[in-house]
Amino acid sequence: MNKFKKRLQNIGLSYKKEMAILITLNIIILSISVVLFSYIKKPIIFAFLLLIDVGMNFVYLSRYKNMESNMEISLHDEFISLLPFYKTYISNGFNVYKAFQELIPFSSEQLKERIEKMITDIDEDKSIKPYINFAKKFKDNEIEQLLICIYQMVDDGNNEKYVNQFEIIFSKLRDEKYKNIIERKDKSLSSMSVFPLIGSALQIVMITFGILSTIGDMINGI
Protein backbone atom coordinates (compact mmCIF):
# COMPACT_ATOMS: atom_id res chain seq x y z
CA MET A 1 0.00 0.00 0.00
CA ASN A 2 1.50 3.37 -1.01
CA LYS A 3 1.86 6.16 1.53
CA PHE A 4 -0.78 8.40 -0.08
CA LYS A 5 -3.39 5.63 -0.08
CA LYS A 6 -2.61 4.78 3.55
CA ARG A 7 -2.82 8.45 4.46
CA LEU A 8 -6.32 8.70 2.97
CA GLN A 9 -7.46 5.56 4.77
CA ASN A 10 -6.17 6.93 8.08
CA ILE A 11 -8.46 9.95 7.77
CA GLY A 12 -11.43 7.86 6.64
CA LEU A 13 -11.39 8.69 2.91
CA SER A 14 -11.70 6.35 -0.06
CA TYR A 15 -8.63 6.35 -2.31
CA LYS A 16 -10.68 5.50 -5.43
CA LYS A 17 -13.28 8.18 -4.71
CA GLU A 18 -10.67 10.88 -4.05
CA MET A 19 -8.77 10.03 -7.24
CA ALA A 20 -12.01 10.04 -9.25
CA ILE A 21 -12.94 13.50 -7.92
CA LEU A 22 -9.46 14.90 -8.56
CA ILE A 23 -9.23 13.52 -12.10
CA THR A 24 -12.76 14.71 -12.95
CA LEU A 25 -12.07 18.26 -11.72
CA ASN A 26 -8.84 18.44 -13.73
CA ILE A 27 -10.53 17.13 -16.89
CA ILE A 28 -13.36 19.68 -16.55
CA ILE A 29 -11.04 22.66 -16.05
CA LEU A 30 -8.63 21.60 -18.81
CA SER A 31 -11.54 20.98 -21.20
CA ILE A 32 -12.95 24.44 -20.50
CA SER A 33 -9.46 25.90 -21.06
CA VAL A 34 -9.08 24.21 -24.45
CA VAL A 35 -12.59 25.19 -25.60
CA LEU A 36 -12.18 28.84 -24.56
CA PHE A 37 -8.74 29.05 -26.13
CA SER A 38 -10.03 27.61 -29.42
CA TYR A 39 -12.69 30.36 -29.60
CA ILE A 40 -10.96 33.37 -28.05
CA LYS A 41 -7.37 32.45 -29.00
CA LYS A 42 -5.80 34.48 -26.21
CA PRO A 43 -2.92 32.74 -24.43
CA ILE A 44 -3.51 34.84 -21.31
CA ILE A 45 -6.92 33.19 -20.80
CA PHE A 46 -5.45 29.71 -21.24
CA ALA A 47 -2.66 30.58 -18.79
CA PHE A 48 -5.18 32.01 -16.32
CA LEU A 49 -7.30 28.84 -16.39
CA LEU A 50 -4.21 26.66 -16.00
CA LEU A 51 -3.28 28.74 -12.96
CA ILE A 52 -6.75 28.10 -11.56
CA ASP A 53 -6.26 24.36 -12.18
CA VAL A 54 -2.93 24.35 -10.31
CA GLY A 55 -4.47 26.35 -7.46
CA MET A 56 -7.45 24.00 -7.27
CA ASN A 57 -5.14 20.97 -7.03
CA PHE A 58 -3.09 22.64 -4.30
CA VAL A 59 -6.16 23.58 -2.24
CA TYR A 60 -7.78 20.16 -2.68
CA LEU A 61 -4.65 18.20 -1.73
CA SER A 62 -3.63 20.49 1.14
CA ARG A 63 -6.96 19.88 2.85
CA TYR A 64 -5.75 16.39 3.82
CA LYS A 65 -3.27 17.91 6.26
CA ASN A 66 -6.05 19.92 7.91
CA MET A 67 -8.22 16.80 8.10
CA GLU A 68 -5.37 14.87 9.76
CA SER A 69 -4.83 17.67 12.25
CA ASN A 70 -8.56 17.89 13.05
CA MET A 71 -8.78 14.11 13.45
CA GLU A 72 -5.86 14.08 15.92
CA ILE A 73 -7.46 16.89 17.92
CA SER A 74 -10.76 15.00 17.91
CA LEU A 75 -9.12 11.74 19.08
CA HIS A 76 -7.21 13.63 21.77
CA ASP A 77 -10.41 15.23 23.09
CA GLU A 78 -12.30 11.94 22.79
CA PHE A 79 -9.72 10.07 24.85
CA ILE A 80 -9.85 12.73 27.57
CA SER A 81 -13.66 12.57 27.56
CA LEU A 82 -13.43 8.79 28.22
CA LEU A 83 -11.11 9.17 31.21
CA PRO A 84 -13.98 9.72 33.71
CA PHE A 85 -15.32 6.28 32.69
CA TYR A 86 -11.85 4.80 33.09
CA LYS A 87 -11.57 6.41 36.52
CA THR A 88 -14.94 4.91 37.50
CA TYR A 89 -13.88 1.42 36.43
CA ILE A 90 -10.63 1.70 38.41
CA SER A 91 -12.52 2.98 41.47
CA ASN A 92 -14.89 0.00 41.20
CA GLY A 93 -12.00 -2.44 41.39
CA PHE A 94 -11.37 -3.14 37.70
CA ASN A 95 -7.74 -3.77 36.87
CA VAL A 96 -5.97 -1.51 34.37
CA TYR A 97 -6.27 -4.01 31.51
CA LYS A 98 -9.99 -4.66 32.02
CA ALA A 99 -10.73 -0.94 32.42
CA PHE A 100 -9.26 -0.25 28.96
CA GLN A 101 -11.33 -3.06 27.46
CA GLU A 102 -14.48 -1.49 28.90
CA LEU A 103 -13.73 1.77 27.04
CA ILE A 104 -13.83 0.12 23.60
CA PRO A 105 -17.67 0.12 23.14
CA PHE A 106 -17.73 3.90 23.78
CA SER A 107 -14.85 4.69 21.40
CA SER A 108 -14.86 5.85 17.79
CA GLU A 109 -13.44 3.47 15.20
CA GLN A 110 -10.05 5.22 15.13
CA LEU A 111 -9.64 5.35 18.91
CA LYS A 112 -10.94 1.80 19.21
CA GLU A 113 -8.14 0.62 16.90
CA ARG A 114 -5.53 2.37 19.04
CA ILE A 115 -6.85 0.92 22.29
CA GLU A 116 -7.13 -2.58 20.84
CA LYS A 117 -3.58 -2.32 19.49
CA MET A 118 -2.32 -1.32 22.94
CA ILE A 119 -4.20 -4.19 24.62
CA THR A 120 -2.73 -6.66 22.11
CA ASP A 121 0.75 -5.25 22.71
CA ILE A 122 0.26 -5.52 26.49
CA ASP A 123 -0.53 -9.23 26.04
CA GLU A 124 2.82 -9.68 24.31
CA ASP A 125 4.92 -7.19 26.27
CA LYS A 126 4.45 -6.58 30.00
CA SER A 127 6.84 -3.62 30.04
CA ILE A 128 5.87 0.05 29.91
CA LYS A 129 6.51 0.19 26.15
CA PRO A 130 2.90 -0.49 24.94
CA TYR A 131 1.62 2.32 27.18
CA ILE A 132 4.24 4.77 25.93
CA ASN A 133 3.61 3.85 22.28
CA PHE A 134 -0.11 4.47 22.78
CA ALA A 135 0.50 7.80 24.52
CA LYS A 136 2.96 9.12 21.92
CA LYS A 137 0.29 9.00 19.21
CA PHE A 138 -1.48 11.87 20.98
CA LYS A 139 1.64 14.08 21.05
CA ASP A 140 0.81 15.29 24.56
CA ASN A 141 3.25 15.00 27.47
CA GLU A 142 0.40 14.99 30.00
CA ILE A 143 -1.17 11.92 28.36
CA GLU A 144 2.23 10.23 28.41
CA GLN A 145 2.52 10.96 32.15
CA LEU A 146 -0.99 9.60 32.62
CA LEU A 147 -0.16 6.32 30.86
CA ILE A 148 3.02 5.98 32.93
CA CYS A 149 0.88 6.41 36.04
CA ILE A 150 -1.55 3.76 34.74
CA TYR A 151 1.34 1.36 34.12
CA GLN A 152 2.53 1.90 37.70
CA MET A 153 -0.94 0.90 38.88
CA VAL A 154 -0.38 -2.49 37.22
CA ASP A 155 2.64 -3.23 39.40
CA ASP A 156 1.23 -1.81 42.62
CA GLY A 157 -2.38 -2.98 42.31
CA ASN A 158 -4.14 0.39 42.03
CA ASN A 159 -2.05 1.90 44.82
CA GLU A 160 -3.79 4.97 46.27
CA LYS A 161 -0.71 7.07 45.51
CA TYR A 162 -1.01 6.41 41.78
CA VAL A 163 -4.79 6.77 41.81
CA ASN A 164 -4.35 10.26 43.30
CA GLN A 165 -1.67 11.01 40.72
CA PHE A 166 -4.09 9.87 38.02
CA GLU A 167 -6.70 12.31 39.40
CA ILE A 168 -4.25 15.23 39.27
CA ILE A 169 -3.11 14.56 35.71
CA PHE A 170 -6.68 13.94 34.54
CA SER A 171 -7.77 17.30 36.00
CA LYS A 172 -4.97 19.05 34.10
CA LEU A 173 -5.93 17.32 30.85
CA ARG A 174 -9.60 18.17 31.30
CA ASP A 175 -8.85 21.85 31.99
CA GLU A 176 -6.47 22.00 29.04
CA LYS A 177 -9.11 20.43 26.79
CA TYR A 178 -11.70 23.11 27.62
CA LYS A 179 -9.07 25.83 27.23
CA ASN A 180 -8.13 24.53 23.77
CA ILE A 181 -11.80 24.34 22.71
CA ILE A 182 -12.26 28.01 23.60
CA GLU A 183 -9.05 28.98 21.77
CA ARG A 184 -10.11 27.07 18.65
CA LYS A 185 -13.50 28.80 18.63
CA ASP A 186 -11.82 32.21 18.97
CA LYS A 187 -9.42 31.34 16.15
CA SER A 188 -12.32 30.19 13.97
CA LEU A 189 -14.18 33.47 14.51
CA SER A 190 -11.02 35.46 13.75
CA SER A 191 -10.43 33.57 10.50
CA MET A 192 -13.95 34.46 9.30
CA SER A 193 -12.94 38.14 9.24
CA VAL A 194 -10.44 37.30 6.47
CA PHE A 195 -13.17 36.30 3.99
CA PRO A 196 -14.11 39.90 3.01
CA LEU A 197 -10.42 40.58 2.27
CA ILE A 198 -10.22 37.50 0.06
CA GLY A 199 -13.34 38.64 -1.79
CA SER A 200 -11.81 42.08 -2.36
CA ALA A 201 -8.58 40.51 -3.62
CA LEU A 202 -10.51 38.37 -6.12
CA GLN A 203 -12.37 41.44 -7.36
CA ILE A 204 -9.06 43.24 -7.91
CA VAL A 205 -7.68 40.24 -9.83
CA MET A 206 -10.76 40.11 -12.08
CA ILE A 207 -10.65 43.87 -12.71
CA THR A 208 -6.94 43.66 -13.54
CA PHE A 209 -7.60 40.75 -15.88
CA GLY A 210 -10.35 42.76 -17.60
CA ILE A 211 -8.08 45.79 -18.02
CA LEU A 212 -5.28 43.67 -19.49
CA SER A 213 -7.71 42.05 -21.93
CA THR A 214 -8.99 45.48 -23.03
CA ILE A 215 -5.45 46.77 -23.53
CA GLY A 216 -4.63 43.65 -25.54
CA ASP A 217 -7.67 44.25 -27.79
CA MET A 218 -6.66 47.88 -28.32
CA ILE A 219 -3.08 46.93 -29.23
CA ASN A 220 -4.25 44.24 -31.64
CA GLY A 221 -6.66 46.70 -33.24
CA ILE A 222 -3.94 49.26 -33.95
Question: How far is Cα 157 from Cα 144, in angstroms, rounded to an integer?
Answer: 20
CA atoms within 13 A on the CB side of 126: 3
Residue 16 neighbours by CB distance under 10 Å: 10
pLDDT bracket for residue 212 (50, 70, 90): low
Per-residue pLDDT at 116: 93
CA distances from 156 to 29, 85, 165 (A): 65, 21, 13
CB 26 within 8 A of CB 53: yes
Range of the domain at 97: 3-218
CB 23 within 8 A of CB 40: no
Whether 42 has a pLDDT exceeding 60, the answer reads: yes
**pLDDT tens string 174-196:** 767 667 666 666 665 555 554 56
The closest of 172, 178, 182 to 142, measured between CA atoms, is 172
* Surface-to-core class of residue 163, CB atoms within 10 Å of its CB (0-12 exposed, 13-18 middle, 19+ buried): middle
Whether 60 has a pLDDT exceeding 90, the answer reads: no
CB 114 within 8 A of CB 137: yes
pLDDT bracket for residue 68 (50, 70, 90): confident
Domains contained in the chain, number: 1
Per-residue pLDDT at 117: 93
Question: How far is Cα 69 from Cα 53, in angstroms, rounded to an integer?
Answer: 25
For the chain, what percent of residues have pLDDT higher than 70? 71
Mean pLDDT of 211-215: 57
Least confident of 83-97, 126-140, 161-175: 161-175
CA distances from 103 to 71, 112, 129, 163, 173 (A): 19, 8, 20, 18, 18
Per-residue pLDDT at 139: 81
Global confidence as pTM: 0.64
